[in-house]
């Protein structure tokens, strides 16, 4: 192994040509990104940057609107890096011009506080999203500079970061505050990496170190506003210093962004204590508080984590943004140690293929804010069509549109999650038709994947160096897979070393070397930990990384009354005409006969059951036909 730190292969070095992902990425580029711009325009989010709002005018700017615009800008910039689009570039440049004019002489940049409440700047960090919006602006500016080579936007962002740096810190003339909605921490690390200006990293570390210390800065703020201090700071992850936090608590999206910032800071500074805090929190989230779909944050109250193993299905919140945040964090955890551990990539894959993609329709025009694991038949039909009932059917947009704008940016940069490298090692974390370009020991090397994953478990990897070069190739063996099979140039590799979930082969690679990896994908019946009370006596169906669900469209409407025998045979088959083409799971279960219940709420005895065929579809594809019932966890006889 070389001494160079492991790092992701950037998305622009990875071209995607994949049966599963390419249609979603193309729809994101051609439909969802333009739709996001139009929604930002017609809802007033763009006009807010003109700073001409007056009291009594409609569309009063909101404290978080800047973040929606910034996330869209980040997605647009990433898309431009891969595909030329003059119209998109013009729209992006027009917004940058508005921001350039809106920036205050001291570098401050916030449409709401400049136009609506200028006297309240920096007076309520806990609740008012100033630093959160700043973080997304910085992320967007870094992405824009990287994508276009134009420094205009990142210069604006640097002036704002300098303004923040001159305002916050440990000096006597500085405020000792920190973000109420975390995000700026990770953005400042990105800005440091883009500019090599260490002050930005130091400011990120200051915000992390200050969080949860006493006296609570938020208490001091509250008193200065004439308000009572908050009673519980778990919602903001400010109840303890970050290195002392052992359990994921509070608002799930905020937690994910905090943990991302912690991981980034640990990677850049070598802070082992901070890295260990990330590992402790990771175990708590993924071993006690994560849905089988990779969703997190189980309650709508505060969009928050609750107690260990409290994972209700029908009331699951599992916000799309939180799942995306979990992907961001998992990706960072892959790079926090000298070598990646596949447990982080397993969670990244689980969330990407299930809860993240559930957040947007196949057409790219409708969105889920929350991602329940159970919807009652009939109730969904009655309750869909209103933003207040967004749990039951995807909506065109939301007044709080964090999820749609997060979806477009993660899909625009999807390629960065597939590969990582050091100076003499290449890691393959995800399996998707793609080509990664990199240089090993001064020699250009392409790694090309051909696969029909996740519908099939066969992956062919073509190693294509310009000339022979020695390095180690690491291939992830997913945690769900048993009995993986590997061939090198047509010959079975009977014994291959596996470290931290990755098979690794070190050799002098030659042009046209071919690896064939087989990951068997039987249909699996999954049970939950006994303390997950909602799932006692139930199973979920998985095949490969895909979680399946029963949808009313394909089954009896009384989904909750279906009983599956524990030994029932379930078969997988590909249906090219269904939902853009997908593998479905079929089998036979039973259901109670429904007759004889007129004027009765209860009756003695057990109703006879009758056989019924069932058909399960990928969870990420549910609600793409019409509103209806849905069920992930099925009762077992």
Residue 156: partners with Cβ closer than 8 Å, 6 or more residues away: 96, 99, 100, 103, 109, 141
Q: How far is CA 565 from its chain centroid?
A: 34
Residue 38 catalytic?
no
Residue 163 catalytic?
no
C-beta of residue 539 within 8 angstroms of C-beta of residue 612 = no
C-beta of residue 521 within 8 angstroms of C-beta of residue 570 = no
Complete DSSP assignment for 498-548:
EETTEEEEEEEE-TTEEEEEE----EEEE---TT-GGGTTEEEEEETTEEE
- Give the SS3 label for residue 375: strand
**In the structure encoding, which two tokens stand for residue 242, read together?**
């970050």
What is the H or E stretch that residue 328 is in? Answer: helix 320-333
Residue 141: partners with Cβ closer than 8 Å, 6 or more residues away: 153, 154, 156, 157, 158, 191
**In the structure encoding, which two tokens stand for residue 4, read together?**
């160079």
From 447, 488, 491, 485, select the one nearest 469 (Cα to Cα). 447
- Give the SS3 label for residue 621: helix
C-beta of residue 434 within 8 angstroms of C-beta of residue 448 = yes
What is the H or E stretch that residue 587 is in? Answer: strand 582-592
Cα separation, 29 vs 404, in Å, equals 13
- The active-site residue out of 402, 403, 549, 620 is 402
**In the structure encoding, which two tokens stand for residue 195, read together?**
């500019």
Cross-sheet strand order for the sheet of 7-8: 7-8, 419-421, 425-428, 469-476, 502-509, 498-499
Count of beta carbons in the 10 Å neighbourhood of residue 63: 20
- The active-site residue out of 303, 319, 349, 551 is 303
From 323, 325, 414, 308, select the one nearest 370 (Cα to Cα). 323
From 631, 547, 531, select the one nearest 589 (Cα to Cα). 631
Residues involved in catalysis: 303, 402
């Amino acid at each position: 192994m070389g001494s160079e730190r492991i790092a992701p292969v950037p998305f622009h070095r990875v071209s995607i040509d994949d049966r599963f992902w390419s249609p979603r990425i193309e729809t994101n580029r051609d439909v969802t990104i333009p739709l996001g711009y139009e929604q930002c325009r017609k809802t007033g989010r763009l006009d807010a940057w003109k700073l001409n709002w007056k009291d009594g005018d409609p569309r009063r700017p909101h404290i978080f609107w800047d973040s929606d615009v910034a996330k869209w800008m980040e997605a647009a910039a990433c898309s431009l890096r891969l595909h030329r689009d003059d119209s998109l570039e013009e729209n992006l440049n027009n917004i940058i011009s508005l921001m350039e004019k809106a920036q205050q002489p001291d570098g401050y940049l916030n449409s709401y506080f400049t136009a609506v409440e200028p006297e309240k700047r920096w007076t309520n960090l806990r609740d008012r999203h100033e630093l959160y919006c700043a973080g997304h602006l910085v992320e967007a500016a870094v992405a824009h500079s990287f994508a276009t080579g134009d420094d205009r936007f990142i210069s604006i962002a640097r002036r704002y970061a300098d303004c923040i740096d001159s305002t916050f810190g440990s000096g006597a003339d500085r405020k000792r505050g920190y973000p109420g909605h975390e995000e700026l921490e990770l953005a400042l690390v990105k800005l440091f990496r883009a500019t090599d200006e260490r002050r930005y990293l130091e400011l990120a570390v200051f915000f992390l170190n200050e969080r949860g210390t006493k006296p609570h800065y938020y208490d001091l703020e509250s008193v200065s506003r004439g308000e009572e201090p908050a009673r519980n700071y778990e919602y903001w992850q400010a109840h303890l210093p970050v290195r002392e936090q052992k359990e994921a608590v509070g608002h799930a999206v905020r937690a994910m962004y905090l943990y991302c910032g912690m991981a980034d800071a640990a990677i850049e500074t070598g802070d082992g204590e901070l890295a260990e805090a990330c590992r402790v929190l990771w175990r708590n989230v993924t071993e006690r508080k994560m849905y089988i779909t990779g969703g997190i944050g189980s309650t709508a109250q505060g969009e928050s984590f609750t107690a260990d193993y409290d994972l209700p299905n029908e009331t699951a919140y599992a916000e799309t943004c939180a799942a995306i945040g979990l992907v961001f964090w998992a990706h960072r955890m892959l790079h926090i140690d000298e070598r990646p551990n596949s447990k982080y990539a397993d969670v990244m894959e689980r969330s990407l293929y299930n809860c993240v993609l559930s957040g947007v329709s196949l057409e790219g025009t409708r969105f889920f804010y929350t991602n329940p694991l159970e919807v009652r038949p009939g109730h969904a039909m009655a309750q869909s069509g209103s933003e207040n009932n967004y749990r039951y059917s995807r909506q065109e947009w939301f007044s709080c549109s964090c999820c749609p704008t997060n979806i477009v940016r993660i899909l625009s940069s999807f390629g960065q999650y597939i590969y990582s490298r050091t100076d003499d090692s290449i890691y393959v974390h995800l399996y998707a038709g793609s080509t990664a370009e990199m240089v090993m020991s001064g020699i250009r090397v392409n790694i090309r994947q051909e696969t029909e994953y996740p519908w099939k478990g066969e992956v062919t990897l073509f190693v294509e160096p310009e000339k022979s070069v020695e390095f180690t190739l690491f291939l992830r063996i997913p945690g769900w897979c048993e009995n993986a099979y590997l061939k090198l140039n047509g010959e079975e590799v009977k014994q291959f070393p596996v470290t931290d979930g990755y098979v690794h082969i070190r050799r002098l690679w030659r042009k046209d070397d071919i690896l064939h990896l087989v990951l068997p994908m039987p249909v699996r019946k999954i049970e939950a930990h006994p303390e997950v009370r909602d799932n006692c006596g139930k199973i979920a169906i998985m095949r490969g990384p895909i979680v399946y669900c029963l949808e009313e469209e394909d089954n009896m409407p009384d989904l909750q009354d279906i009983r599956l025998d524990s030994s029932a045979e379930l078969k997988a088959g590909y249906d090219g005409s269904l939902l853009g083409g997908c593998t479905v799971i079929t089998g036979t279960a039973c259901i109670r006969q429904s007759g004889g219940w007129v004027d009765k709420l209860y009756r003695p005895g057990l109703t006879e059951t009758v056989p019924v065929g069932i058909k399960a579809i990928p969870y990420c594809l549910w609600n793409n036909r019409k509103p209806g019932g849905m069920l992930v966890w099925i009762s077992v006889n």
